[in-house]
Amino acid sequence: MNGTDRDGGSRGQDRAQARAPEMELIREAQGGSRAAFDALVRQYEHQVLRLALHLTGSEHDAEDIYQEAFLKAYRYIGNFRFECSFYTWIYRIVTNLCLDRLRRRKTRREDRAVIVDRSGDEIDLLASVSDDRSFSNPAKELDRKLLGEKIQAALDKLTPRERMVFELKHYQGLRLRTIGEMLNTTEETAKNTLFRATKKLRTQLAGLR
Amino acid sequence: MNCEVAHERIVTGAYGELPDEQTHELERHIAGCPDCHREREELLALKVLANAHPVMEPTANLVARSRLRLEEALDALPPKRWHERLGQRMMNNFASLQAAPVAACLLLVAGAGAGSLGGYEIAQNRAAHTAAALSATPQTQTGQPQAGPAEIANISSIVRQPNSEMVEVRYNQVVPQRMEGSLDDPAIRQLLMLASEDSASAGVRDDSVGLLAAECRAGHGCQGAGIRDALMVALRYDKNEGVREKALQGLEPYVAQDVRVRDAVLEALMNDGDPRIRTAAINILEPVEADTSVRQVLHTVANSDQNPQIRTVSRQVLSRVPEIQ
């Protein structure tokens, strides 16, 4: 038996135990402890950067979102009432900042149906991609990069909210209920938004199958 | 299940959010619907395709840069002033209370209960002290009762001992009290005057006004304005005609010498609803020197009183005008 297998009850207990020191950190941070707040930042900074980086595609933008999110958290940590997890609370701040960023930004990438590779040949991105690509093949690496850009372009065509829900569900693996909490909406609304997002993406990426 | 619902559940199911019973139902539908089968295949392909844009872990440089920039920004923030910290602490405490409404309610109930109990104990101690002081000195010639009128809730009974000047007054403060003394005792008189205004019991008012009036008719120290005022109030306002009649009898000795008493009697003659009292008011009018108000009232009563006997008596009195100067 896998030593890491556990039933739901003991997992819940572990979660509760893990939260206990976090609650102490939060209370100390609320009391003005900078060290406690720094410890909280270290717990969540990777997740925040990962989300911001994938959403914006820019390290500079991700850094800005990181800065704004944690400054806001520092300013308003006194208002945290333990009604949800600190993780949800922080993510709520980050997702709102990301949504603002997505709404403000103009399309930065051009939609390219056909691009030119290093040898000068045109590549039709709408052509199907072979399954037997090798990562060690530079040409195939380029194909992957271009494919990624195509997908990014399709994602950019979603509304900010659809983009956020798809990001949190598909890429971050969060539950729809948690996504609803973070976006201050219901699980049902989050589910409908996900449905719309996948439908649009399938339309955009139909030729890439 | 129709295909529209199936399409939505395909998305939910692909991301592990579909309840088990709906998953089974969906599988059965897909098995028999080529369109929905294709729909699911395309969604699964989309998931694979989307992974071609993978989530990248932030580089160590990015993390370090971000952390450094944040620390600089936090260091640049001005420290919170004492009132901001205090306000924050109060909000946190209030929020803790908000998060424990039952505890907050219990706290309020306990506080209110403790306050009420403390007040009751203090009042009881004070009443016990007052009763002890009063019982130690049953007859007092001067001074006010230990318990002021504001502290006495009501008078419950007045009993005069037969053939005696001694009166027992039972009254209520926080707990029932009892006082016994002579009719000449100012404390007893004060209680009797208080009893004359007791709106709850006509019997208590009747007893007290009767005793006060008897004292006045006997000439026992009604020179003070307090007793006459109490009798005039009873004459003017008491709803019980028996009480008003006794008050009138008590004021009789003072009609001639006290203008206020005369005016009260004249008001009773004009306005009292009981003809017996109006008749008694006429009878106790004594000749006064150059008092035109008496003649004017008698004229009015002689012309307009509803009771013919009172009109007649008034005319008879007026005919003796030379006797009323």
- The DSSP string of B162-192 is TTSSEEEEEEESSSEEEEEEETT-HHHHHHH
State the Cα–Cα distance between residues B164 and B170, nearest whole angstrom.
18
Helix (H, G, I), strand (E, B) or coil at B157: strand
Enumerate helices (H) and strands (E) in chain A, giving the number of each: 8, 2
State the total domains in chain A: 1
pLDDT tier at A16, thresholds 50, 70, 90:
low
Q: What is the mean pLDDT of chain A?
A: 79
State the Cα–Cα distance between residues B10 and A95, nearest whole angstrom.
26
Q: Is A148 on the interface with B (CB under 8 A)?
A: yes
Q: Are A176 and A197 in contact (CB under 8 A)?
A: no
Angle between helices A8-30 and A34-56 (to 10 degrees): 120
Q: What integer pLDDT is reported at residue A122 of this predicted model? A: 46
> Chain B residues with CB inside 8 Å of A179's CB?
none
Interface of B with A (CB under 8 A): 7-8, 11-12, 15, 17, 42-43, 45-47, 49-50, 52-59, 62-63, 65-67, 69-71, 73-74, 77, 80, 85, 88-89, 91-92, 95, 98-99
Within a domain: B44: yes
CATH no. for residue A28?
1.10.1740.10
Within a domain: A136: no
Within a domain: A111: no
Within a domain: A169: no
Nearest-neighbour CA in chain A from B112: distance (Å): 29
- Note down the domain range covering B12: 3-49
- Half-sphere exposure at residue A139, Cβ-oriented, CA atoms within 13 angstroms: 11
Nearest-neighbour CA in chain B from A189: distance (Å): 12
> Chain B residues with CB inside 8 Å of A37's CB?
74
Within a domain: A170: no
What is the 3 state secondary structure string of B15-80? CCCCCHHHHHHHHHHHHCCHHHHHHHHHHHHHHHHHCCCCCCCCCHHHHHHHHHHHHHHHHHCCCC
User: Are B70 and A82 an interchain contact pair (Cβ–Cβ within 8 Å)?
Assistant: no
B160 forms bridges with which residues in the sheet? Answer: B167
Within a domain: A166: no
**Neighbour-count burial of B273, counting CB atoms closer than 10 A to its CB (0-12 exposed, 13-18 middle, 19+ buried):** exposed
Q: What integer pLDDT is reported at residue B33 of this predicted model? A: 92
- Note down the domain range covering A96: 6-105
pLDDT tier at A123, thresholds 50, 70, 90:
very low
State the total domains in chain B: 1
Comparing A60-64, A123-127, B30-34, the range with the smallest average pLDDT is A123-127
Q: What integer pLDDT is reported at residue B65 of this predicted model? A: 93
Predicted ipTM > 0.95: no
B182 forms bridges with which residues in the sheet? Answer: B166
Within a domain: A70: yes
Nearest-neighbour CA in chain B from A3: distance (Å): 25
Within a domain: A64: yes
Within a domain: A152: no
Which residue ranges in chain B fall short of pLDDT 70?
Answer: 80, 84-85, 88-89, 91-100, 127-150, 199, 221, 223-225, 286-290, 321-325
Q: Which residues 31-70 on chain A approach chain B with CB closer than 8 angstroms?
A: 31-32, 34, 37-38, 41, 45-46, 49-50, 53-54, 59, 62-63, 66-67, 70
Q: Which residues 7-26 on chain A approach chain B with CB closer than 8 angstroms?
A: none
User: Are B56 and A209 an interchain contact pair (Cβ–Cβ within 8 Å)?
Assistant: no
> Chain A residues with CB inside 8 Å of B92's CB?
30, 78
**pTM for this entry:** 0.50
